[in-house]
Amino acid sequence: MIRHIVFFTAKDEAGIDQIVEGLSILTSIPYARRLEIALNRKSDQLGNDIDVVVYGEFDSESDLAAYKSHDLYREAIRRVRPLRELRLAADYEPSTDVHFAGMSGLAQIARPRRPPGRG
């Protein structure tokens, strides 16, 4: 599986909804196992520059390539490019590219505490 994540910043705050609308046509492309278009909650304490996020999961590199070559993908680019300031994208394969993963933070690496009196 390939994960495809794209971050967008709008040139103008008024264009954010238009970016979401332009990107929403991507959900009609059949090659993604999962595709989400979301507004950034802007709750990070260190930076909130990103306005819109696209998150996709694809079964293979060829599915991702077919998605990117689809006519609706090109149409989304045509609609969104004039409205965006920045676009950052990353693709990775979880089974081979992920070096560290956890489901419950530090609890996974913490040793269980022994009850008092048990050595």
Q: Does residue 110 belong to any structural domain of this protein?
A: no
Please check whether residue 67 lies inside any domain of the structure: yes
- Which residues of the chain, if any, have pLDDT below 50? 106-112
Which pTM value belongs to this model? 0.82
* pLDDT attached to residue 99: 87
Q: 88-100 burial string, b = 16+ CB within 10 Å, else e?
A: eeeeeeeeeeeee
Count of structural domains, the chain: 1
pLDDT at res. 108: 46
- b/e sequence 57-69, b meaning 16+ C-beta within 10 Å: bbeeeebbebbee
Q: Determine, yes or no, domain membership for 63.
A: yes
Query: Residue 114: inside a domain, yes or no?
Result: no
In a domain, 106, yes or no: no
At residue 101, the pLDDT reads 76
Q: Which domain holds residue 8?
A: 2-97
CATH code, domain carrying 34: 3.30.70.100
- Whether residue 119 is contained in a domain is answered as no
